[in-house]
Amino acid sequence: MADKDDWLQTYLNTVVVIDLDSGHVLIGELLDFSRQHLVFRQADLHDCTQANSSKEVYLAEAYRYGVNINRKAVAIPRNRLLAISRLEDAKRY
């Protein structure tokens, strides 16, 4: 388990958007994290390089219509994380 003063603590138990270094985006509830991994439930792992719309449009639709869950649970290596934000922040796009 990571230090509870970790900056990710503020995102626990909220639906977040994770930009990964592979061109994928993950939308899901941050359930737990350690120094090595981020653990999500009810997640959508989406390949933006294969998408028909922009990432911004995809996120706005996920906010508006709900997350297209394709993973009950998923762990992501923490070193793959490029950015994190709350899904509700996508509502402006």
Question: Residue 74 and residue 93: Cα distance in Å, rounded?
Answer: 26
pLDDT at position 19? 92
> Residues near 92 by Cβ (< 8 Å), separated by ≥ 6?
none
pLDDT at position 80? 94
pLDDT at position 63? 87
Please answer whether residues 16 and 9 qualify as being in contact, where contact means their C-beta atoms are separated by less than 8 angstroms: no
- Note the pLDDT tens digit of each residue in 3-50: 556 889 999 999 999 999 988 899 999 999 999 999 999 999 988 888
pLDDT at position 93? 46
Mapped onto helix, strand or coil, the DSSP state of residue 88 is helix
Please answer whether residues 8 and 33 qualify as being in contact, where contact means their C-beta atoms are separated by less than 8 angstroms: yes
pLDDT at position 3? 59
Q: Record the pTM.
A: 0.86
pLDDT at position 58? 83
Q: Selecting from 3.90.1200.10, 3.40.50.300, 2.60.40.10, 2.30.30.100, what CATH number does the domain 7-92 have?
A: 2.30.30.100
- Note the pLDDT tens digit of each residue in 48-76: 888 777 888 888 888 889 999 999 999 99
Domain locations in the chain? 7-92
